[in-house]
Amino acid sequence: MSTVRHINKFRIFIIFGLFIGLFLYLKLARNFFDRPFILADETQTIEAVYVAWACDCPHWLSTHHYTTTPDYEAREEDCFFIEPADTLNALPPSMVFSVRTKIKFTGRFYVDKGIPESYVSVGDFKPAHARVFRYEYYELISN
């Protein structure tokens, strides 16, 4: 009888460990569930600039913040991720990392927040979920 109890305790311990491991994986590592899935119906054209945050976070900011408030200071909550609708239309890295380069994007925001599949991490941590803009076209406005 005691052997059965030890086996049951061991099973409970293993199951508990698996749940803890799964929880930590979903919390700390980027996975399928971090991606946004539902695109908004409305197509938008937005002008955005790259903000060089030193963190794993969204790096793009709409320029309307600057035009409506001249002394505006960028906040992480106002920033968003971008992702190309087609990998052939992805921004070249030289254009992405040029600070204050204005780029006009045409596309749609996702309804839900998330982390785009194309996002490249800066550090070891998973970024917080944020708005994601999926663009179909882009145009360099100023350098």
Per-position DSSP letters for 98-119, written without gaps between them: STT-EEEEEEEEBSS-B--TT-
Q: What is the reported pLDDT for 118?
A: 85
Q: What is the reported pLDDT for 20?
A: 83
Q: What is the reported pLDDT for 38?
A: 93
State which amino acid sits at residue 17. Answer: G
Q: What is the reported pLDDT for 2?
A: 65
Q: What is the reported pLDDT for 116?
A: 92
Phi, psi of 122 (to 5 degrees): -85, -35
Q: What is the reported pLDDT for 18?
A: 85
Q: What is the reported pLDDT for 99?
A: 63
Q: What is the reported pLDDT for 101?
A: 79
What's the average pLDDT block by block, 10 residues per block, for the chain (143 residues)? 70 83 75 88 94 83 77 81 92 72 93 90 82 95 75
User: Which positions ≥6 away from 127 have C-beta within 8 Å?
Assistant: 55, 56, 57, 58, 115, 119, 121
Q: What is the reported pLDDT for 143?
A: 62
The alpha carbon of residue 19 and the mean position of all alpha carbons in its chain are separated, in whole angstroms, by 26
Q: What is the reported pLDDT for 98?
A: 64
The rounded distance, in Å, linking the Cα atoms of 129 and 114 is 4
Return the sign of the alpha-carbon dihedral for residues 97, 99, 102, 107.
Answer: positive
The rounded distance, in Å, linking the Cα atoms of 33 and 22 is 13
Q: What is the reported pLDDT for 81?
A: 93
